[in-house]
Amino acid sequence: MRELDLTRLPRHIAIIMDGNGRWADKHGLTRAEGHEAGAKSVRASIEACRELQGVEVLSLYAFSTENWRRSEAEVSALFGLLSKYIHLELENIHKEGIRVRIMGRREGLSERVLSDLEYSETRTRDNRQMTLNVAINYGGRAEIADAARRLAREAAAGALRAEDVDEEAFARRLYVPELPDVDLLIRTSGEMRLSNFMLWQVSYAEIVTLGVLWPDFRKRHLHEAIERYQKRQRRFGGR
Ligand code: IPE
Ligand code: IPE
Ligand code: MG
């Protein structure tokens, strides 16, 4: 292993898994095949985090609220893959003591996807080794708007006073309120944008972009990102 300081691991790593389409192009394959190849990297990244024993949460961006703009064929390939992945991998994930959480809007998802997602969460709810937080039909702005709507409803019902709306109250109404802030945000395939991912939670995250396309991402890439993270000086506005 590289020179990782195991006493200073990021508690929460979030990954924007990008580059499946480019990987497919490069290999003369379909985009669906690119996504399929990306599933191996999901496995590798979960294993790598689990092995480090100290990373508490791994968040993966699987499908954004904007990804509905893709062709129907690609969208259905992505959701098909998600169900296949859950059926193949969930028991292993469970055996590893990993708790699955799903972050995103439930509206718009099919009954079948919803029941797979719910099963993943209930099956693993008592696990404490690590949390795997999967963003599906997720948008950072949607999450913030949904939290604001919940606050407004509670205020209108008389259950909350305007003076009590602060950062903490807001954070408690996010999709997965117990998540700590993101420490390390990784994006693959060289892009340097957030694409609407975890806007609230990344406010002081260290961002590492890697050139590797997501289907080629392996344990060593995660280690490289952590090594780069550990060379940064985090300041949180102080000096
Ligand atoms: C990321 O790969 C996977 C998802 C968005 C679901 P892309 O499909 O965005 O791949 P590129 O960016 O076109 O290469
Ligand atoms: C972000 O990647 C979404 C996921 C990884 C699920 P995109 O490929 O959709 O983002 P843009 O379009 O390049 O910004
Ligand atoms: Mg992309």
Residues catalogued as catalytic: 18, 67
The answer to whether residue 103 is domain-embedded is yes
In sequence order, what are the residues at sequence separation of 6 or more whose Cβ sits closer than 8 angstroms to the Cβ of residue 229? 10, 183, 184, 206, 208
The per-residue pLDDT for range 53-111, each reduced to its tens digit, is 999 999 999 999 999 999 999 999 999 999 999 999 999 999 999 999 999 999 999 99
Which atom, in ligand 2's list, is nearest to the CA of 138? 6
| Number of separate domains in the chain | 1
The verdict on the CB of residue 67 being under 6 Å from ligand 2 is yes
What is the distance in A from the centroid of ligand 1 to the CA of 68? 12
Q: Quick check: pTM over 0.95? A: yes
CATH of the domain at 187: 3.40.1180.10
- What sign results for the dihedral spanned by CA atoms 46, 52, 53, 58? negative
pLDDT of residue 61: 98
78 Cβ inside 6 Å of ligand 2: no
110-137 pLDDT, tens per residue?
999 999 999 999 999 999 999 999 999 9
Ligand with smallest separation from the Cα of 20:
1
In a domain, 148, yes or no: no
Q: At residue 1, does pLDDT exceed 80? A: no
* Residue 156 falls inside a structural domain: no
What is the span of the domain harbouring residue 62? 12-138+181-230
User: H or E segment at 137?
Assistant: strand 130-138
